[in-house]
Chains A and B, each alone.
Chain A
Amino acid sequence: MAVLKVEDLKMHYKTKKGYVKAVDGISFELDAGESLGIVGESGCGKTSVSMTLLRILPENAEFKGGHVWFNDNGKMVDLVGLEEDEMRHYRWKGISMVFQAAMNSLNPVYRVGDQIVEAILNHYPDTSIDAARDKVAKLFELVTLDPKRMDQYPHQYSGGMKQRAVIALSLSCDPRVIIADEPTTALDVIVQDKILRELKKIQKELNMAMIYISHDIAVIAEVSDKIAVMYAGKFVEQADSTTVFKRPMHPYTFLLMNAFPSHVGEKKKLFTIPGEPPNLLNPPTGCRFAPRCPWATDKCRTEEPEYREVEKGHYIACWHPLTEEVRKDAFRK
């Protein structure tokens, strides 16, 4: 049974020039122990999705519809309808998050261990301080930090260690779902590699569901069981990760996957995508990718394709899904 079920989620930002349609009808399901990668370019709305799920939105954000069903021990609760104090019960304990550049989210004047103890005591007020400290020590071991470092301050940590501490913090209340939003983007590859390995291991060990958000297709390929490709506020394709990479049906997915260089294997031709991502104040009519799509027809430019399941677990929003033939042809050109 799904631990999280999102239905047609919509959130727009109100600005002087109009509404920015950052999240415009997103749907997905997530089982326990499963990881979903959301990949997209800057400004496509991927971070807004995570903020909407947790309801940690800026003042100008307006919720425009949809549901976020969270499985609370067998009972599906719609987080969207909850009062703020009820929501607080699910935030961190139900769904927690590791932010982008999270190493800066530690308070510099408190010991790292104390900050995590505080989070535990906040959500489980009956816990004794000793029990909470024991728990933090275990969490430190889980993220391969020396528990002796609990009593140090953030400035005594390296970037990678801070990021691990923040992951420990996000795990402190035994969340069922963890949202990791570009948690390794500011780190060097060798440190990134370690954190990715740990995150994957912990996720499987604790049977947590994970939403991993990144612009880096290679990282997404490694951590995700299934992948959703986001473009201009919408999911354009979603499937298990192998299908997304080997048999993408949406032109944006196909071009994006093949625009990304790899340092192993044979040196393949890189694809370019003409133009630039659209402004979400006035997204194009019809399919939002149509102005940049080499396969677009008049229909694409006027009618918006529905996001639908074309084979089991494979969703796309495209009037002319790519076939094997078309994909092969594209490499010949």
Chain B
Amino acid sequence: MRLENKNVLLEIKNLKKYFPAERALFSRAKHFVHAVDDVSFQILEGESLGLVGESGCGKTTTGRMVVRLENPTDGSIKVLGKPIEEYERMEYHAMVQMIFQDPYESLNPRMTIFDIIAEPLNIHNVGTLEDREEKVSQLLQEVGLTPPDSFLWRYPHELSGGQRQRVAIARALVLNPKLIVADEPTSMLDVSVRTAVMELMMELQQIHGMSYLYITHDLAVARYMVNRIAVMYLGKIVELAETEELLHHPMHPYTRALMDAVPVPDPEYKRNEPNIIGNISAPIDPPPICRFYDRCPFRVDKCKTDPHPELKEVAPGHYVACYLVHEGKIK
């Protein structure tokens, strides 16, 4: 897909979300988990951006703020140049939709497939009943649940995991959104079914031209789904680049360790041992220095004394937050 001359769809600036940690009853919280801490990025129209990281890195919290399921502590989120809190709720959700990880939990078991997919149309008062039936049938066709008539009046429990996720995708699409936040949409699916759902999401993007904010822990899946990858570590984006550039020239020590830790489906491939110290901890009141300091095998004195490094462009379109990379000591 050509992305030159495209408008900025989503613009996130200095986004923060702090959750109170260990609050006693009636007392004010003294400690905070810095779940998302000063995150900035953009998504263009028709572009897919992947947020990749381990559990607890803040990727899901970021996605939830974008769909207004969570209010930011600080920072701004703009869609088409307008801050999201200035949109009417209804208007906003016609533009931004979400697909959740677990298709067994995200569909109401007491509603038929038609009711599930048509619910956004009801809420937004779009069309007559006949129009809605036609729209839902057309979407079922698009997501590969054919013939649509045989699915319309069934219930989620009658469908397999892959089919349910297709229903969730159809529901997200029904209002023709400009942005879909997809939180690990294929991680619960089996391998043989997963590829088909991944391909479906890419085809639908070709047809409808929407953007994806694709949240995943799986670098290999992200490789097939997104134009650019942002790697998160404890609430910070540590590296951001075009997908193949990132996978072939990872620069941040964390990105490198993460890539070395992912098993490769080839018995003859010899992986490097990930070069990383210790274990991940929750970012409760983290010191202002580099968030990766404790685990970084390359750290120098500067890393301990200076603030968390900025996300700087070190090659065209390739951003890294690491002093050693900025100074050319890691290439």
A interface residues with partner B (beta carbon < 8 Å)? 41-42, 158, 160, 188-193, 196-197, 215-219, 221-222, 224, 241-242, 245, 255-257, 259-265, 267, 270-274, 276-277, 292
A261, B224: Cβ atoms under 8 Å? yes
Provide the bound-state CA to CA distance between A264 and B219, in Å. 10
Q: 0/1 per residue, B285-302, Cβ < 8 Å to A?
A: 000000000000000000
- The reply on B201 being an interface residue by CB < 8 A is no
Provide the bound-state CA to CA distance between A272 and B268, in Å. 24
Output the least CB separation between B29 and chain A (Å): 22
Known: A41-B192, A190-B257, A259-B194. Contact between A267 and B267, CB under 8 A?
no
A263, B247: Cβ atoms under 8 Å? yes
Output the least CB separation between A198 and chain B (Å): 12
Output the least CB separation between B222 and chain A (Å): 8
The one of B192, B219, B273, B280 that contacts A188, using a Cβ cutoff of 8 Å: B280
Q: 0/1 per residue, B242-267, Cβ < 8 Å to A?
A: 00100100000000011111111111
B267, A245: Cβ atoms under 8 Å? yes
Chain B: interface size category:
35 or more
- The reply on B162 being an interface residue by CB < 8 A is yes
13 example contacts (A-B, Cβ-Cβ < 8 A) are as follows A189-B258, A193-B261, A193-B263, A218-B220, A221-B265, A221-B267, A241-B267, A259-B194, A263-B223, A263-B247, A264-B264, A264-B269, A271-B195
Output the least CB separation between A200 and chain B (Å): 12
Known: A190-B274, A192-B261. Contact between A276 and B162, CB under 8 A?
yes
Provide the bound-state CA to CA distance between A31 and B219, in Å. 35
- The reply on B126 being an interface residue by CB < 8 A is no
* Minimal Cβ-Cβ distance residue in A for B243: A267
Known: A219-B263, A221-B267, A245-B266. Contact between A270 and B198, CB under 8 A?
yes
Provide the bound-state CA to CA distance between A273 and B193, in Å. 7
- The reply on B67 being an interface residue by CB < 8 A is no
Apart from A259-B194, A270-B195, 19 more pairs, CB < 8 Å = A41-B190, A41-B192, A188-B55, A188-B280, A196-B263, A197-B273, A216-B263, A217-B191, A218-B220, A218-B264, A221-B266, A222-B264, A262-B266, A263-B262, A270-B198, A270-B199, A272-B195, A272-B196, A274-B196
- The reply on B54 being an interface residue by CB < 8 A is yes
Q: 0/1 per residue, B157-170, Cβ < 8 Å to A?
A: 00010110000000
Provide the bound-state CA to CA distance between A147 and B276, in Å. 22
Output the least CB separation between B73 and chain A (Å): 25
Neighbouring B residues of A260 by C-beta, 8 Å: 191, 220, 265
Output the least CB separation between B304 and chain A (Å): 22
- The reply on B84 being an interface residue by CB < 8 A is no
Output the least CB separation between B224 and chain A (Å): 5
Provide the bound-state CA to CA distance between A221 and B190, in Å. 17
Neighbouring A residues of B268 by C-beta, 8 Å: 242, 245
Q: 6 tightest A-B contacts by CB?
A: A218-B263, A273-B192, A261-B220, A41-B190, A241-B267, A193-B261
A263, B219: Cβ atoms under 8 Å? yes
The one of A196, A245, A255 that contacts B192, using a Cβ cutoff of 8 Å: A255
A222, B267: Cβ atoms under 8 Å? yes
Known: A221-B264, A222-B263, A245-B267. Contact between A259 and B220, CB under 8 A?
no
The one of A192, A259, A292 that contacts B191, using a Cβ cutoff of 8 Å: A259
Give B171-212 interface residues, CB cut-off 8 Å to A: 190-196, 198-199
Provide the bound-state CA to CA distance between A192 and B218, in Å. 13
- The reply on B236 being an interface residue by CB < 8 A is no
Known: A215-B191, A256-B192. Contact between A188 and B267, CB under 8 A?
no
* Minimal Cβ-Cβ distance residue in B for A245: B267
Known: A190-B54, A197-B273. Contact between A221 and B263, CB under 8 A?
yes
* Minimal Cβ-Cβ distance residue in B for A257: B265
Neighbouring A residues of B284 by C-beta, 8 Å: none
B263, A259: Cβ atoms under 8 Å? no
Output the least CB separation between B278 and chain A (Å): 10
Output the least CB separation between B226 and chain A (Å): 12
- The reply on B128 being an interface residue by CB < 8 A is no
* Minimal Cβ-Cβ distance residue in A for B276: A190
Q: 0/1 per residue, B95-123, Cβ < 8 Å to A?
A: 00000000000000000000000000000
Neighbouring B residues of A256 by C-beta, 8 Å: 191-192
Provide the bound-state CA to CA distance between A273 and B247, in Å. 27
Output the least CB separation between B108 and chain A (Å): 22
Provide the bound-state CA to CA distance between A160 and B279, in Å. 9
